[in-house]
């Protein structure tokens, strides 16, 4: 027996679900930004340094050795050599949770870090001690000229990470990640070392000051408010078109239904 | 039209009410007011329902008044000026929108509620006289038209016919020809860029580049080192300088006849996509692909940037480069083919 | 000296009307307008949404022109938006930023303008599909259909011009692609591109001023003219109506224009305007300050046109790398999806009323609409077109979808390509079958009545469901009601059988007696 009441409720329910989904999608697009910063400059003396390297080696032999090899020389088909990648690369990979990697995949994903910031520094210093490489300078990495950074960002970074720094798709399932949660140090490290498919922007190419300019621009843009209301993801015409239909035209159609409905 | 419904009304008869006149007017316009019923009898005291509706409408209009006043106040006195870390200014636009929206909803709601709940219920039927006019009407109009032609006697006066053509056609041309000011002959610019023999490759800020300025696995957007080279005047010239890692450089297979275009592991490719002209500059340094963000064409950097996916049909042109006496990158010549999207005259 | 005779307020309408009529002799035509009858159905108001959005566009657009300067002169930005301070840009972009940050209320005007543009084109599209699916375009209304196609095409062009003139990096990317599209036209492409842009892209600064005058004068003037013609034809030919009790090809049933219909229309304008104001206040659109000024080397991941161009862009993305090269001459791949395909689509759409009349050999006038189910072939075709447009639209944003939902970009492209081949015929077939099914059910209900949900056991043990006939029955329990193109009630509470129902906005309740009378009246002519 088919109940008309249920059918009708079903219809209303469906409408409600569609509406909720639509609104949910919009809400999802509009997510808040939360700035974080983990400046790490607590290593002062040579003695400290030696301890840190030793601790780092211990961590390495527990967590990294199986893929990167006994002396960080790399293991074929499992992990690359880490000699010469520098502390910056280690800090980026470990502090964004990309390393240790859960499994082999096209692209390591950002996830909650396994090591705390102290341990990350220890690991970084251990790898640095093996073969040198780029390091992240200490101090305020945001001390730069925003608008100069903006010009550089749009020329060098926006193509992959988008104007809004929300990220974008690359070929075959790879992607340039959003910079939403990226800290100053991570931004700096990423430019310096070119993790995964990102090209390297060495210090001769983007000077340390230019890197700070870019960081100043990216971080201030991320934290900046949307003067025009909800940012709907700052993703451009795709969510805008959705809103135009799902909010604008749907609202007008409901009004039309009301006006033409019998009273 | 007026004969279609009922009998004509004697307007001067004694017992004619105003609504009778309305009905008669409608009748003369081909409209029959088939059903008409006031929602509330005006001769009776107002009932609860009627009063409620009146209150609802009044409330809506009041909302409008309040919201519109709020709009004026906010527009005039809100601390609206944008500051990067300002707190109040971000509410300016949403508040204006809310006030304007509420004010308009108030009027709209009030008017519609008035129409739906207070105006009499009515069904009117208007006769529809679509279709062609009556045959005799058509006949008369056609005759008039033909007579017009006849009166001019154009068929009898071949000289004037010819003279009209000779005289008026150029007027048409005269009207159109000024648009010719828009016409410009496409020149060689479509085939060349700002680069030529010995042009330095410079950064956005105009500074020249040495090989050790670009790290292995890095890219740099470069421009011709000529006046205005980094501006949109040379929008066809932006070039992507790629520094391949040693392992990748070994695998690189240049296009035929272009084996000396690179300078060691440095390759310079046009940044302008050969499909629709967007900067194809999404460089994947591990998979050695260049991706265009507009239509997803993908190019293989190790094989002379030949297209491997998407709608692009041609490889990104490669700029022949070397290093000058001072150690800065220069182009050995301009691109040897047209950069950017294809066109008819392009072989 | 008394200039005006003294009149009591109650006499004002009569006195005013007399004053005007003495001079213009308009008593009869004016009354005719007051008495004009309009049918009432929510779907007839979709075009109104477009009309009202257009009015809002004119209002907000006029405000914007007071502050916008389309000049391509290079200036150094010195406005309130600090992240761009000191950046070199065109005056067009700088003044767009000023409207957003330094003109009081400028941002909300810009945003309402942009939202209104999206709703304008969107509502036109929805309105067009309503007209298509109900057969409202048939003789004698082919001309108005053609005007409608013109409005839609010009609306898209107008939108594109508006998207381009702020001269930010996103609009520049769009122009760059438009330049490539024009270049791709065989034989004359380079000449046309040079004529429009004033040289090789981006030309010598001519394009933005040219687009500006096109955007604020040329196209709006034509749009206003076409809108007026669209409305004039509507008034002259009268509105179509759905079949129903008393409704024939030779009448229009509804409400007289004044005061009821006009009040509802005016109120609806306020509501549409209100929705646009809310959108403009609450949803940020086209945040040009994030894009920066246009530079030839700048691009962003996720670059899209607005949705009404999105379907063409989707087609450009899906089109394979097919380029023709003959005797040193080239037809680029981009030509087919961006020039030929939209051309074919709009030509077919424009010719559709004539094509359909030819196929169906239909020479009659139609003032009554059809229910989509009663014309399965057309409905199937329309659904097919909708599916094509949706696939193309999704493909136009395939990089955003790939990124947000973690799907391979290449897979999205292939899904679009394959979907474009497989889905439309499937949609046609399924829609066709659904239409036939609905038709059959209508006739079943008319013959046997409604399912009541009451199960009865007959003396010999058989279970049957009791049906409620919609009219008088013959000795076999069959009702002889002919289907006449109007909705058939399908549920008991639709005929008031379950007692008083709440008055619904979406499901107005009709009394059983009404339904019976209506179906009888409709079928009257065919009954033996």
Cβ pair A159:B94 closer than 8 A? no
Structure tokens at C525: 């002519």
Which candidate, A134, A206, A147, places its Cα nearest to that of B207?
A206
pLDDT at A31 over 70: no
In this structure, the number of other CB atoms found within 10 A of the CB of residue C264 comes to 25
Angle at A233 between CA C181 and CA A92, to 5 degrees: 100
CA distance A106 to chain B (A): 11
Cβ pair C267:B108 closer than 8 A? yes
Q: How sure is the predictor about A72, in pLDDT bands with cuts at 50, 70 and 90?
A: confident
CA distances from C149 to C15, C137, C349 (A): 44, 11, 7
In this complex, the residue of A229, A231, A241 whose CB is nearest that of residue C310 is A241
B271 CB within 8 Å of a chain C CB: yes
pLDDT at A41 over 60: no
DSSP letter for each residue of C140-177? T-HHHHHHHHHHHHHHHHHHHHHHHTT-BHHHHHHHHH
| N-to-C CA span, chain C | 78
Residue C388: predicted pLDDT: 95
C-alpha–C-alpha distance, residues A30 and C284, integer Å: 11
In this complex, the residue of B103, B115, B342 whose CB is nearest that of residue C264 is B115
C496 CB within 8 Å of a chain A CB: no
C-alpha–C-alpha distance, residues A215 and A182, integer Å: 10
Cβ pair A176:B282 closer than 8 A? yes
CA distances from B124 to A128, A197, B112, C44, C312 (A): 89, 71, 19, 18, 45
C-alpha–C-alpha distance, residues C26 and C29, integer Å: 5
Of 2.102.10.10, 2.40.110.10, 1.10.287.610, 2.30.40.10, which CATH number belongs to B190-331? 2.102.10.10
Cβ pair A169:C48 closer than 8 A? no
B219 CB within 8 Å of a chain A CB: yes
Which candidate, C434, C528, C522, places its Cα nearest to that of C470?
C522
Residue C508: predicted pLDDT: 45
Chain B residue nearest residue C194, CA to CA: B184
Q: How many residues does chain A have?
A: 263
Structural contact between residues C297 and C176, judged by C-beta atoms closer than 8 angstroms:
no
C-alpha–C-alpha distance, residues C524 and C506, integer Å: 29
- Which residues of chain B does A204 touch, with a Cβ-Cβ cutoff of 8 Å? 210, 212-215
Cβ pair C184:B341 closer than 8 A? yes
CA distance A50 to chain C (A): 43
Could you tell me which residue, C488 or C339, shows the higher pLDDT? C339
> Widest CA span of chain A, in angstroms?
86
Cβ pair A236:C304 closer than 8 A? yes
pLDDT at A40 over 50: no
Structure tokens at B76: 């005039």
pLDDT at A139 over 60: yes
Chain A residue nearest residue B284, CA to CA: A197
pLDDT at C322 over 60: yes
Task: State the span(s) of chain B assigned CATH 2.102.10.10.
Answer: 190-331
Query: Across the A/B interface, how many CB contacts are shorter than 8 Å?
Result: 80
Cβ pair B215:A200 closer than 8 A? yes
Structural contact between residues B229 and B202, judged by C-beta atoms closer than 8 angstroms:
yes
User: Which whole number is the average pLDDT over C499-519?
Assistant: 49
Q: How sure is the predictor about A11, in pLDDT bands with cuts at 50, 70 and 90?
A: low
In this structure, the number of other CB atoms found within 10 A of the CB of residue A167 comes to 19
Residue A52: predicted pLDDT: 81
In this complex, the residue of B97, B281, B309 whose CB is nearest that of residue A171 is B309
Structure tokens at B324: 């000058």
pLDDT at C315 over 90: yes
Burial of B148 (0-12, 13-18, 19+ CB in 10 A): exposed
Q: How sure is the predictor about A251, in pLDDT bands with cuts at 50, 70 and 90?
A: very high
Which residues, 6 or more positions from B344, have their beta carbon under 8 angstroms from its beta carbon? Answer: C185, C186, C187, C188, C189, C190, C329, C330, C331
Cβ pair C87:A151 closer than 8 A? yes
What value does the mean pLDDT of chain C take?
Answer: 88
Could you tell me which residue, B144 or A24, shows the higher pLDDT? B144
Sign of the four-CA dihedral B254, B255, B260, B266: negative
Could you tell me which residue, B2 or C320, shows the higher pLDDT? C320
Give the whole-number percent of chain C exceeding pLDDT 90.
63
Give the whole-number percent of chain A exceeding pLDDT 90.
20
Which candidate, C248, C243, C495, C509, places its Cα nearest to that of C373?
C243
DSSP 8-class letter at A176: E
DSSP letter for each residue of B282-311? EEETTTTEEE-TTT--EEEGGGTTEEEESS
pLDDT at A2 over 70: no
Q: List residues bridging with C331 in a β-sheet.
A: C324
pLDDT at C477 over 90: no
Interface test with C, best of B4, B19, B107, B126 (most C CBs within 10 A): B126
Element (H, E) at A254: helix A250-260
Residue C313: predicted pLDDT: 94
- Which residues of chain A does C122 touch, with a Cβ-Cβ cutoff of 8 Å? 244-245, 248-249
Number of H helices, E strands in chain A: 11, 2
Q: How sure is the predictor about A15, in pLDDT bands with cuts at 50, 70 and 90?
A: low
Q: According to DSSP H, which parts of chain B are helical? A: 18-28, 48-77, 92-113, 135-152, 158-176, 246-251
DSSP 8-class letter at C185: S
Chains that touch B (3 or more CB pairs under 8 A): A, C
Cβ pair A150:C84 closer than 8 A? yes
Cβ pair C283:A228 closer than 8 A? yes
pLDDT at C511 over 80: no
C-alpha–C-alpha distance, residues A54 and A76, integer Å: 26
DSSP 8-class letter at B263: B
Residue A192: predicted pLDDT: 86
CA distance A129 to chain B (A): 22
Residue A122: predicted pLDDT: 81
Cβ pair C451:A146 closer than 8 A? no
Q: How many residues does chain C have?
A: 528
User: A43-47, B194-198, B205-209, C54-58: lowest mean pLDDT where?
Assistant: A43-47
User: Which whole number is the average pLDDT over B25-45?
Assistant: 88
Interface test with B, best of A205, A211, A216 (most B CBs within 10 A): A205
Could you tell me which residue, A142 or C526, shows the higher pLDDT? A142
Long-range pairs of C450-458 with CB within 8 A, sequence gap ≥ 24: C450/C489, C450/C490, C450/C491, C450/C492, C450/C495, C451/A2, C451/C492, C452/C492, C452/C497, C453/A1, C453/A2, C453/A3, C453/A4, C453/C492, C455/A1
Q: According to DSSP H, which parts of C165-261 are helical? A: 169-183, 189-197, 207-213, 219-237
Interface list for B 306-335 with C (CB within 8 A)? 307, 309-314
Cβ pair C303:B278 closer than 8 A? yes
Q: How sure is the predictor about A263, in pLDDT bands with cuts at 50, 70 and 90?
A: low
C198 CB within 8 Å of a chain B CB: yes
C491 CB within 8 Å of a chain A CB: yes
Which candidate, C110, C7, C126, places its Cα nearest to that of C62?
C110
CA distances from B111 to B55, B105, B108, B117, C134 (A): 13, 10, 5, 10, 30
pLDDT at C386 over 70: yes
Residue C470: predicted pLDDT: 77
C-alpha–C-alpha distance, residues A199 and B283, integer Å: 7
Sign of the four-CA dihedral A140, A145, A150, A152: negative
- Which residues of chain A does C279 touch, with a Cβ-Cβ cutoff of 8 Å? 243-244, 247-248
Which candidate, A237, A164, B96, A234, places its Cα nearest to that of C107?
B96
C432 CB within 8 Å of a chain B CB: no
Number of H helices, E strands in chain C: 19, 8
pLDDT tens figures, C410-462: 999 999 999 999 999 999 999 999 999 999 998 888 888 888 778 888 888 88
C249 CB within 8 Å of a chain B CB: yes
Q: How sure is the predictor about B102, in pLDDT bands with cuts at 50, 70 and 90?
A: very high
Report the SS3 class of residue C241.
Answer: strand
Cβ pair A169:C303 closer than 8 A? no
C-alpha–C-alpha distance, residues A232 and C282, integer Å: 10
Q: According to DSSP H, which parts of C214-304 are helical? A: 219-237, 262-282, 288-291
Q: How sure is the predictor about C517, in pLDDT bands with cuts at 50, 70 and 90?
A: low
Cβ pair C267:B276 closer than 8 A? no
Residue C102: predicted pLDDT: 93
User: Which whole number is the average pLDDT over B327-339?
Assistant: 92
pLDDT at C503 over 50: no
pLDDT tens figures, C202-256: 888 899 999 999 999 999 999 999 999 999 999 988 999 988 888 888 889 888 9
Full set of structural domains in chain A with CATH: 46-131 (1.10.760.10), 146-223 (1.10.760.10)
Cβ pair A224:B84 closer than 8 A? yes
pLDDT at C272 over 90: yes
In this complex, the residue of A197, A200, A228 whose CB is nearest that of residue B287 is A197
C-alpha–C-alpha distance, residues B277 and B312, integer Å: 10
User: A97-106, B8-17, C41-50: lowest mean pLDDT where?
Assistant: A97-106
pLDDT tens figures, A82-95: 877 877 887 888 88
Name the packing angle between helices C46-65 and C106-133 (round to 10°).
150
Residue with tokens 């894009």, as numbered in its chain: C291
In this complex, the residue of A154, A226, A248 whose CB is nearest that of residue C115 is A248
Q: How sure is the predictor about C502, in pLDDT bands with cuts at 50, 70 and 90?
A: very low
B284 CB within 8 Å of a chain C CB: no
| N-to-C CA span, chain A | 32
Interface list for C 88-117 with B (CB within 8 A)? 101-102, 104-105, 107-108, 111-112
C-alpha–C-alpha distance, residues C493 and C507, integer Å: 10
pLDDT at C32 over 60: yes
Chain C residue nearest residue A153, CA to CA: C298
pLDDT at B215 over 80: yes
- Which residues of chain C does A240 touch, with a Cβ-Cβ cutoff of 8 Å? 114, 118, 283, 285-286, 306-307
């Amino acid at each position: 027996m088919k109940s008309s009441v249920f059918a009708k409720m079903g219809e209303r329910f469906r409408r409600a679900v569609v509406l909720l989904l639509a609104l949910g999608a919009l809400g999802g697009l509009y997510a808040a930004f939360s700035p974080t910063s983990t400046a790490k400059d607590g290593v002062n003396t040579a003695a400290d340094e030696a301890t840190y390297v030793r601790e780092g080696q211990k961590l390495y032999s527990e967590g990294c050795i199986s893929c990167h090899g006994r002396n960080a020389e790399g293991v074929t088909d499992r992990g690359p050599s880490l000699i010469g990648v520098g502390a910056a690369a280690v800090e980026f990979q470990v502090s964004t949770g990309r390393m240790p990697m859960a499994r082999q995949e096209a692209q390591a994903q950002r996830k909650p870090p396994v090591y705390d910031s102290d341990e990350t520094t220890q690991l970084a210093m251990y790898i640095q001690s093996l073969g040198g490489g780029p390091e992240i300078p200490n101090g305020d990495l945001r001390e730069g000229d925003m608008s100069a950074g903006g010009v550089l960002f749009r020329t060098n970074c926006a193509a992959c990470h988008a104007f809004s720094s929300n990220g974008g798709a690359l070929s075959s399932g790879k992607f340039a990640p959003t910079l939403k949660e990226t800290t100053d140090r991570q931004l700096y490290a990423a430019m310096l070392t070119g993790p995964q498919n990102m090209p390297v922007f060495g210090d001769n190419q983007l000077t340390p000051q230019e890197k700070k300019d870019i960081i100043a621009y990216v971080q201030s843009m991320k934290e900046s408010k949307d003067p025009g209301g909800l940012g709907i993801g700052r993703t451009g015409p795709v969510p805008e078109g959705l809103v135009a239909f799902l909010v604008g035209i749907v609202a007008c159609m409901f009004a039309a239904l009301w006006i033409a409905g019998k009273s | 039209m007026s004969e279609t419904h009922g009998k004509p009304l004697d307007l001067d008869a004694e017992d004619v009410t105003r609504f009778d006149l309305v009905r008669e007017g409608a009748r003369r316009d081909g409209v029959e007011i088939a059903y008409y019923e006031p929602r509330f009898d005006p001769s009776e005291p107002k009932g609860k329902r009627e009063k409620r509706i009146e209150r609802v409408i009044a409330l809506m209009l009041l909302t409008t008044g309040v919201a519109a006043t709020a709009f004026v106040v906010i527009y005039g006195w809100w601390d609206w000026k944008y500051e990067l870390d300002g707190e109040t200014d971000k509410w300016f636009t949403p508040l204006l929108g809310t006030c304007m929206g509420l004010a308009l909803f108030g009027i709209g709601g009030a008017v519609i509620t008035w129409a739906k709940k207070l105006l009499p219920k009515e069904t009117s039927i208007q006769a529809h006289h679509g279709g062609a006019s009556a045959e005799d009407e058509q006949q008369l109009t056609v005759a008039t038209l033909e007579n017009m032609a006849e009166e001019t006697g154009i068929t009898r006066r071949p000289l004037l016919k010819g003279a009209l053509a000779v005289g008026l056609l150029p007027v048409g041309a005269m009207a159109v020809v000024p648009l010719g000011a828009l016409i410009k002959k496409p020149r060689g610019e479509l085939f060349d860029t700002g680069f030529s023999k010995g042009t330095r490759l410079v950064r956005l800020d105009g500074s020249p580049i040495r090989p050790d300025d670009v790290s292995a696995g890095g890219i740099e957007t470069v421009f011709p080192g000529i006046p205005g080279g980094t501006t949109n005047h040379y929008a066809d010239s932006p070039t992507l300088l790629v520094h391949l890692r040693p392992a990748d450089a070994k695998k690189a297979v240049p296009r035929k006849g272009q084996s000396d275009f690179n300078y060691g592991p440095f390759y310079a490719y046009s940044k302008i996509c050969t499909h629709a002209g967007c900067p194809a500059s999404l460089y994947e340094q591990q998979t050695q692909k260049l991706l265009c963000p507009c239509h997803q064409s993908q190019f293989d950097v190790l094989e002379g940037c030949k297209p491997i996916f998407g709608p692009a049909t041609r490889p990104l042109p490669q700029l022949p480069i070397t290093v000058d006496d001072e150690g800065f990158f220069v182009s050995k010549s301009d691109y040897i083919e047209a950069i950017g999207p294809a066109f008819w005259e392009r072989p | 000296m008394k200039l005006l005779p003294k009149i009591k307020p109650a006499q004002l309408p009569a006195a005013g009307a007399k004053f005007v009529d003495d001079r213009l002799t308009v008593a009869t035509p004016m009354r005719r307008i007051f008495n004009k009858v309009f049918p009432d159905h929510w779907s007839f108001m979709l075009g109104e949404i477009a009309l009202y959005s257009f009015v809002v566009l004119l209002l907000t657009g006029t405000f914007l022109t007071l502050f916008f300067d389309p000049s391509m002169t290079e200036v150094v930005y010195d406005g309130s938006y600090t992240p761009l301070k000191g950046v070199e840009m065109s005056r067009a972009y700088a003044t767009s930023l000023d409207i957003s940050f330094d003109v009081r209320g400028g941002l909300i005007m810009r945003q309402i303008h942009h939202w209104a543009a999206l709703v304008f084109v969107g509502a036109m599209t929805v309105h067009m599909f309503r007209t298509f699916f109900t057969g409202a375009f048939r003789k004698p209304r082919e001309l108005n259909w053609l005007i409608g196609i013109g409005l839609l095409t010009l609306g898209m062009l107008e939108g594109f011009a508006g998207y381009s003139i702020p001269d930010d990096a996103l609009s520049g990317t769009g122009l760059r692609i438009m330049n490539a599209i024009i270049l791709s036209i065989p034989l004359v492409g380079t000449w046309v591109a040079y004529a429009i842009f004033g040289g090789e892209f981006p030309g010598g600064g001519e394009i933005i001023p040219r687009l500006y005058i096109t955007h604020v004068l040329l196209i709006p003037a034509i749009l206003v003219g076409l809108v007026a013609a669209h409305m004039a034809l509507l008034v002259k030919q009268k509105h179509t109506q759905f079949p129903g009790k008393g409704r024939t090809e030779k009448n229009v049933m509804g409400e007289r224009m004044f005061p009821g219909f006009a009040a509802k229309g005016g109120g609806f304008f306020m509501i549409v305007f209100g929705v646009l104001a809310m959108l403009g206040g609450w949803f940020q659109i086209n945040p040009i300050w994030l894009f920066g000024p246009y530079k030839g080397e700048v691009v962003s991941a996720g670059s899209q046109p607005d949705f009404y161009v999105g379907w063409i862009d989707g087609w450009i993305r899906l089109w394979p790398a097919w380029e023709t090269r003959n005797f040193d001459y080239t037809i680029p791949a981009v030509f087919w999806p961006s020039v030929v395909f939209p051309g074919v689509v709009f030509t077919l759409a424009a010719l559709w009323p004539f094509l359909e009349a030819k196929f169906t050999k239909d020479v009659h006038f139609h003032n009554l609409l059809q229910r989509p189910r009663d014309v399965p072939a057309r409905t199937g075709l329309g659904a097919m077109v909708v599916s094509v447009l949706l696939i193309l639209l999704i493909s136009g944003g395939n990089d955003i979808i790939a990124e947000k939902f973690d799907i391979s970009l290449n897979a999205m492209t292939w899904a679009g390509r394959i979907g474009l081949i497989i889905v439309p015929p499937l949609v046609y077939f399924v829609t066709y079958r659904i239409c036939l099914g609905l038709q059959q059910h209508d006739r079943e209900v008319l013959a046997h009545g409604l399912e009541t949900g009451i199960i009865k056991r007959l003396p010999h043990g058989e279970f049957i469901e009791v049906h409620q006939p919609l009219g008088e029955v013959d000795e076999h329990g069959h009702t002889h009601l002919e289907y006449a193109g109007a909705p058939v009630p399908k549920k008991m509470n639709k005929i008031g059988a379950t007692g008083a129902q709440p008055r619904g906005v979406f499901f107005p309740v009709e009394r059983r007696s009404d339904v019976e009378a209506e179906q009888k009246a409709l079928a009257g002519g065919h009954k033996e």
